[in-house]
Amino acid sequence: MKNFTKSIILTLTALTISASSLSAIDQSTKIQLLEEALIETATTPAQMNAVSAYMKNVAQEKLELAKEYRDRANGPKAGKVAYKNAEKRDLLKKAARLENEAKSYQKY
């Protein structure tokens, strides 16, 4: 299992380095392509379990960050009202986007 984890890290590192030359693609698209490649290359049960665990961890991190954004958006108000309202809308948008991304990770 340790060797597989090392190979995942090395594969992701190599793919990240090779993908970094594609400057026309934004970072989230690069990550999505790397994760799709990782999913497609997992063939053994151990590899599939490792990929599944990775996807669940990413989903959990995204949900936790979304919760943090929602908590900040609904936190105590101080300062200028217009700024706080704009910040609240921005944080709620970020939270919703992260929750949608987490759903895509949870299906694996």
Structure confidence by residue, pLDDT tens digits, 29-84: 888 888 888 888 888 999 889 888 988 998 999 999 999 888 888 777 656 776 77
SS (H, E, C) 41-105: HCCCHHHHHHHHHHHHHHHHHHHHHHHHHHHHHCCCCCCCHHHHHHHHHHHHHHHHHHHHHHHHH
In the numeric block, which tokens belong to residue 40? Answer: 């497609």
pTM over 0.95: no
Closest by CA to 31, choosing from 1, 6, 5, 62, is: 62
The residues spanned by each domain of the chain are 1-41, 53-108
